[in-house]
Structure 1
Amino acid sequence: MLMQRFYFYRDLYDTMEAIKLDSDAGNLIQQQNCFGSALPADCPLFFGPHTMACMETVWASVGCLPAGTEHPPKLSTADFNTLSVLTYTDLEAHMTSIKSDADTGTDAAQLKCFGIALPTDCPTYGGPHTADCLKVMWGLVGCLPAGNEYPDKLSTADFDSLAAKDYRSAYGDMEKIKTDADGGDLIQQQNCFGIALPGDCPTYNGPHSNACLKTIWGAVGCLPAGDEYPDKLTSAQQAVLSALTYRLVF
């Protein structure tokens, strides 16, 4: 009878052990049976130690980015080893908590997760972003409310498309408008500043060249004979004018 009980125990143990071994080999059904969840292909071991590839997969799955300061390849050896021996559930929970804190507006968590601290009006990296958030971005890149593509002036479709992008993508779209405007693109100058600049004045914010100052002088209707014609100004006076935005010169 004792021997029969032993064999029954071994049969039961072996059956359960086979489930565990199949789970560790990547069998998704057996992972569900053993752990209650199917693991990513890069994470075959529920109890670890987890590989770099596994930890990067979990990091991405919770919504954090490679730019984040706690992206697994950026961790110290000690921190990596500490995380790698967590269970898969605990590892996922740790990274999820970083993402949750980032989405509630914690600068430190945003740096860890996204690699960037977001403006107060932009609490979520992934969007959708509010009009206030988009207007903050617009100002940060150096464009003006007078610009034709100021968020409040966009069509509903264009606004929704921009708002749905992640923070870097939306910011990047606006930054390109500003860069192209500074490069002399007249359409983008209208979009960014609400005005197309003369060829001698490629940048709205300056510093402006003497040629630009003279062009503006003529554009407002003043003459070279005037006492404040740019060529007649002192170097200090020219420097003050040069540093003004285009609309504030003269």
Structure 2
Amino acid sequence: MEGVKSAADNGDADNQLNCYGIAFPNTCDSHDGPHSVECLTTIWESKGCLSEGTKAPDKLNTAGKYTLDLLNLVDVGINFKTTRIEADGGDKNKGLECYGLGLYMFYKFCSYNL
């Protein structure tokens, strides 16, 4: 078991799946925090949010970054996916967080007119 965990922590995707249930994005070094901004950005974008969002990882203040560093990669992904789902469900604040002001307004206008 220690060999599987060691291989997973050293970047082996198959062992990451066996040990943690997910393969880390190439920008992520470990399952548990702290996470680099690059790692968080990869997950943010993979869940459908945009860099223009007000809560995009590169826009986080120290407290926001610290909060995400307390989460493992699975929980970070769930957090970001929930933000997108709530944005798509009409939550204006989550829309701004996920898509950004101009893009959120455009997205909502277009989705209402489809």
Same-fold status (TM-score > 0.5): yes
Amino acid in the other structure paired with 1:197: M
Report the counterpart of residue 75 of structure 2 in structure 1.
169
The answer to whether the 8 Å contact 1:129/1:164 transfers is no
Identity %: 36
Task: Say if 2:50 is the partner of 1:156.
Answer: no
TM-score (norm 2): 0.89
1:201 deviates by 3.1
Amino acid in the other structure paired with 1:123: D
Please list every run of 5 or more consecutive structure 2 residues that lacks an aligned counterpart in the other structure.
Answer: none
1:109 deviates by 0.5
For 1:95-244, list aligned pairs within 5 A: 95-195=1-101, 196-197=104-105, 201=108, 211-212=112-113
Normalized per residue, the structure richer in helix is 2
Amino acid in the other structure paired with 1:190: L
Supply the distance in 2 between the matched residues of 1:169 and 1:115 (Cα, whole angstroms): 12
Q: Secondary structure at the match of 1:127?
A: coil
The answer to whether the 8 Å contact 1:186/1:197 transfers is no
1:114 deviates by 1.1
**Structure index of larger Rg:** 1
Supply the distance in 2 between the matched residues of 1:168 and 1:115 (Cα, whole angstroms): 8
Count of residues paired in the alignment: 112
- In the TM superposition, what whole-angstrom CA distance separates every residue of 1:204-232 from its partner, at most 9, and x where no partner exists? xxxx55x525xxxxxxxxxxxxxxxxxxx
Report runs of 4+ in structure 1 exceeding 4 Å deviation. Answer: none
The answer to whether the 8 Å contact 1:180/1:188 transfers is yes
Larger relative contact order, structure 1 or 2 (CA cutoff 8 Å, min sep 6): 2
1:164 deviates by 2.5
Please list every run of 5 or more consecutive structure 1 residues that lacks an aligned counterpart in the other structure.
Answer: 1-94, 203-207, 214-250
The answer to whether the 8 Å contact 2:7/2:15 transfers is yes
1:126 deviates by 1.3
Q: Secondary structure at the match of 1:134?
A: helix
1:161 deviates by 1.4
1:100 deviates by 0.8
Amino acid in the other structure paired with 1:167: L
The answer to whether the 8 Å contact 1:142/1:178 transfers is yes
1:127 deviates by 2.0
**Coordinate RMSD, CA, aligned:** 1.9
